[in-house]
């Protein structure tokens, strides 16, 4: 019989490690757990799709872990992330176009990244240059999900959404693929150790991104 060294003489050993972690960290760990599953590629596609409308953890997390395990498939994982993410963006557009009145309260109350202020800002940005706004959101940490759903609400042409999303998401995920192909193990260790700091940095980037877009794209 094996024994857990942490269980000997530790009053907190009976508490599962996941119970000590916040919801974001537990969800992050759940996403990473798919890297050890034979269904990792399917999970990557599903998470990439869902993140485009409501899921809070970016697919880059799983893409990096999968790429570290199988570097030769790094660019395949990037392609799957891109295609599924753009498809999820189309789903987000459809939600905004046909279901927004019914689901609006739920999104503003429960989906991270959504707020009335951000949504109104995106609506104003779409009056300036919808393609550039969607590309920026697809490539940067700006909440892409807000832009996909707002695109449907604002009747942004679906072709504009798909083209800008494919360009932005493709650039982002293939950049991740190139980085993990050469520095994957180091990148994974960094995320495992500094998740909270990275989250704060992404939050700052989101705020900065919204201000930058507001300055660059005229609102009417």
Domain ranges of the chain: 34-216
Nearest CA to 88 out of 152, 133, 29, 140 is that of: 152
- Please report, to the nearest 10 degrees, the dihedral formed by the alpha carbons of residues 167, 113, 57, 215 taken in order: 40
> Residue 217 pLDDT more than 70?
no
pTM for this predicted structure: 0.75
Q: Taking 70 as the threshold, does the pLDDT of residue 87 lie above it?
A: yes
Of 6-20, 30-44, 187-201, the range with the highest mean pLDDT is 30-44
DSSP 92: H
Report how far residue 153's alpha carbon sits from residue 5's, in angstroms, rounded to the nearest whole number: 55
**Under 8 Å CB-to-CB from 81, ≥6 apart: which residues?**
44, 45, 48, 59, 60, 63, 169, 173
Please tell me the predicted confidence (pLDDT) of residue 29: 87
pLDDT at 169 over 90: yes
pLDDT grade, residue 158 (50/70/90)? Answer: very high
Q: What is the pLDDT of residue 175?
A: 83
Both tokens of residue 146?
């807000």
Long-range contacts made by residues 108-116, C-beta under 8 angstroms, separation at least 24?
A: 111/54, 111/56, 111/145, 112/56, 112/143, 113/56, 113/143, 113/145, 113/146, 113/206, 114/143, 114/145, 114/146
Could you tell me the pLDDT band of residue 110, with boundaries at 50, 70 and 90? Answer: confident
Radius of gyration of the chain (CA): 19
Confidence of residue 160 (pLDDT cuts 50, 70, 90): very high
Task: Give yes or no for a contact between 191 and 198, defined as CB atoms under 8 angstroms apart.
Answer: yes
Q: What is the Cα–Cα distance from 60 to 180, expressed in whole angstroms?
A: 10
Percent of the chain residues topping a pLDDT of 90? 39
């Amino acid at each position: 019989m094996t024994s857990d060294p942490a269980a000997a003489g530790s009053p907190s050993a009976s508490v599962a490690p996941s119970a000590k972690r916040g919801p974001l960290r537990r969800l992050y760990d759940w996403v990473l757990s798919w890297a050890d599953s034979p269904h990792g590629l399917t999970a990557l596609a599903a998470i990439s799709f869902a993140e485009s409308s409501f899921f809070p953890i970016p697919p880059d997390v799983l893409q990096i872990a999968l790429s570290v395990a199988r570097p030769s498939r790094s660019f395949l994982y990037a392609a799957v992330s891109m295609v599924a993410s753009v498809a999820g963006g189309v789903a987000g557009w459809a939600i905004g176009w046909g279901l927004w009145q019914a689901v609006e309260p739920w999104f503003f109350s429960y989906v991270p990244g959504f707020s009335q202020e951000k949504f109104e800002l995106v609506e104003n940005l779409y009056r300036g240059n919808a393609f550039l706004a969607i590309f920026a959101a697809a490539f940067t940490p700006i909440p892409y999900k807000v832009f996909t759903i707002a695109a449907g609400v604002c009747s942004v042409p679906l072709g504009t959404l798909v083209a800008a999303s494919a360009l932005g998401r493709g650039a982002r995920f293939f950049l991740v693929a190139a980085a993990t192909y050469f520095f994957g193990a180091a990148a994974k260790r960094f995320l495992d150790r500094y998740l909270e700091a990275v989250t704060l940095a992404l939050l700052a980037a989101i705020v900065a991104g919204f201000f930058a877009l507001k300055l660059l794209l005229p609102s009417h």
